[in-house]
Structure 1
Amino acid sequence: MKKVLAFVLALVVTLSLAACSSGTAPTESAVQSSENAASVSTGTESSAPAASTTKGGHVFGYTCMDMTNPFHIAMRDAIKAAVEANGDKLIAIDGAMDQTKQNNAIDDLITQGIEALFLNPCDSKGVKPALEACKAANIPVINVDSGVADTDMIATFISSNNYQAGKLCGEEMVKLFPDGAKICIIENPLAESVVQRVKGLEDAIKGSKVEIVGRKSIATMDVVLSTAEDLLQAHPDISAFWGLNDDVSLTILGALQSAGVANKVKVFSVDGSPSAKKSIADKGLYATAAQSPVSIGTKAVECAYSILKGDKIEATYSIDTSLVTSENVAEAGTDSWK
């Protein structure tokens, strides 16, 4: 019965990986946002231009690695709201964790006449053909959340401080287990945001008695539950488990509950989603390093309009993360993303 409950829990978790931040996807989907809204000032520090008087206004494209991921949905919605507030249009297409599919989608966006692209790549290296296509079409690329390998082909990179997010988790582990602990992690090396989180975690525990004894890489959400179970069976004496984002970590929690050891193993995560914060408040997850997809999306739109006006922007923008635990979850709030 417990096994069934854990499986159900895994299914109701919004299927995604990365990062947020960061991820994997179980389904193929595409969403298009094409409605225009009334002209409203965004009120940002480098304010966007007034609504275009040209019929149809500016057209922007957005594609992410996994549009079933709540983080990527929140980021898309923030971008959409800011773009439409200027009377312009956003076309959003899901990469569905398939870089070939995403590259084709970007080609389609170029054909539809986008003037700038908001890009969260499925594969930091595999996205290069799409970057080349954008360069050939003179379309600036605003890279968000997870970086591309060919940074000379983008206009700017805006992300959470993913290294900091992993480091915050690692520092809390060292503090929580002064006498040492064995931990397992589930990661995705194709997503640069996750790579940076893992690096931060590893650097934080270096020289301490906290040790990674088991790790597995995944690319789709449908294998998270079995992967967590396999790691737990191989390392039954672990004290903590780290998942690359909240959806993965909530599924890990389900596996621990099914095995009857949820009260013995602390689960750490990255994202700061409402569901994760609610779990922390209910003494499920132990901690999540919270990101702000809304801030990333808003900054991305600000940069896009600056580029269209010919203004200079920074090569990178890093947005700080913060650790949410039972001690501050009430202050962080459980109803929405930051």
Structure 2
Amino acid sequence: MFMKKFKAVFGSMLLVSGLMLGACSDKGGSSEGSNEGDKEFKIAGVLMQSDVEWFKQIQYGMERAAKEYNVDLKIGNSNLDLATESSLFDTYTSQGMDAIIVSAIDSSSSVEAIKRAQEKDVLVVNYNTNVDEDVMKYYVGIDNFELGAQAGRKVAEYVQNELGGQAKIGMVTLSMFEVGIKRAEGFLSEITKVPGIEIVSQQDANGPENGMSVAETMIQANPDIDVMWAANGGTTHGVVQGIISKGLQDKIKFFGTDMDLQSANALLDPANPYQAVSTQDPEKIGYESVKAAVQALKGESVDSNIVVDLDFFTKEDKEKLEQYIEKYKNL
């Protein structure tokens, strides 16, 4: 979904796929950052796509932190449009915002808007995606290598325990983006530890339709595939549908990336080939972004690279999956 490769600072894009969940915080209030009586800061959060579940969870986390840290929060939607993103920066700067939190659309083209805000003494915190390092002061995101490695470890375990240590694997990757490259590298670092695993195909896809088409083509050319893995959320759903469309849900097992409600329901379905998902925690990313902005504005010490913990869901985690659905079903 992004217009250029993003540099890796430890990695969502987030990709709107989804970009992707660590240990999600409860909906209720928490004592993590109660700042009653402190100065109220004005902070704007810029989403890439406000109607996408991943960014809805980002907003949810921002709003929770805003309540706890006494923040007057405004939410804007760039809708993947650079002109809109630039306009939002100028508007928020003119409105006297103390900070702007953004998942930048482009690693270089978004820089000028950020610079203009910084020249007016507006603090900028990048989350999920990053920009040229001489502009970016704070970044909140994940370790994309580990995101892929988590899935790789689970696949390796499955092959050893369920397939006698022998398996042919199809990888649906995202090598057009730096984060996708890191995820694939992490995945391969784990599955190559099992001598009996053979990668029979590795192809790129981005999004449900593309993912389904690539999966069907891959299966057609390699009917002996035992396991498939996809590197991002939107593609995940397409690959699952590609497996089902071929009537091979009992033979080919699937492991995905980036949790959402559709994935949770698929994992709860015993007949679905979806086995497990390695995931980000967008709510936590949103929360930590606001928290970092507040701390920086108060002159407190803040890490320049804040790495948010990952999470993992499996088909066996019925109670955990049901809790996830209950928590986010109304977003």
Q: Residue 303 of structure 1: CA displacement?
A: 1.2
Q: Which residue of 1 aligns with 2:16?
A: 23
Structure 1 gap ranges (5+): 1-17, 26-39
Q: Residue 321 of structure 1: CA displacement?
A: 1.6
Instruction: Give per-residue Cα distances to partners, 1:100-157, cap 9 Å, x unaligned.
Output: 54344333333333221212123334432233223222222222223x1423422322
Please state if 1:185 is matched with 2:167. no
Q: Which residue of 2 aligns with 1:109?
A: 92
Please state if 1:158 is matched with 2:140. yes
Instruction: Give per-residue Cα distances to partners, 1:187-209, cap 9 Å, x unaligned.
Output: 2633x544432231132233542
Please state if 1:315 is matched with 2:304. yes
Q: Which residue of 1 aligns with 2:113?
A: 130
Instruction: Give per-residue Cα distances to partners, 1:221-262, cap 9 Å, x unaligned.
Output: 554433443444344432222223333312321222122122
Pairwise mapping of residues 151-230 of structure 1 onto structure 2 (< 5 A)? 151-177=133-159, 178-187=165-174, 189-190=176-177, 192-208=178-194, 209-211=197-199, 213-218=201-206, 223-230=210-217
Distance 1:327 1:41 in 2: 29
Q: TM-score scaled by structure 2?
A: 0.77
Please tell me whether the aligned partners of residues 208 and 237 of structure 2 are also in contact (alpha carbons under 8 angstroms): no
Relative to structure 1, is the Cα distance of residues 89 and 205 closer, same or farther in structure 2, using a 3 angstrom cutoff?
A: same
Q: Residue 287 of structure 1: CA displacement?
A: 0.7
Classify the secondary structure of the residue corresponding to 1:132. helix
Please tell me whether the aligned partners of residues 277 and 329 of structure 1 are also in contact (alpha carbons under 8 angstroms): no
Distance 1:256 1:274 in 2: 19
Distance 1:143 1:68 in 2: 20
Q: Which residue of 2 aligns with 1:7?
A: none
Q: How many residues align?
A: 298
Which one scores higher on RCO, CA 8 angstroms, separation ≥ 6? 2
The CA RMSD measured in Å over matched residues stands at 3.0
Please tell me whether the aligned partners of residues 63 and 287 of structure 2 are also in contact (alpha carbons under 8 angstroms): no
Please point out which of 275, 282, 298 is paired with 2:262.
275
Q: TM-score scaled by structure 1?
A: 0.76
Please state if 1:44 is matched with 2:32. yes
Instruction: Give per-residue Cα distances to partners, 1:138-186, cap 9 Å, x unaligned.
Output: 222222223x142342232222333212101112222222213221214
Q: Which residue of 1 aligns with 2:72?
A: 89
Q: Which residue of 2 aligns with 1:64?
A: 47
Q: Which residue of 1 aligns with 2:6?
A: none
Distance 1:235 1:74 in 2: 37
Q: Structure 1 residues 316-325 or 103-112, which shifts more?
A: 103-112
Q: Which residue of 2 aligns with 1:6?
A: none
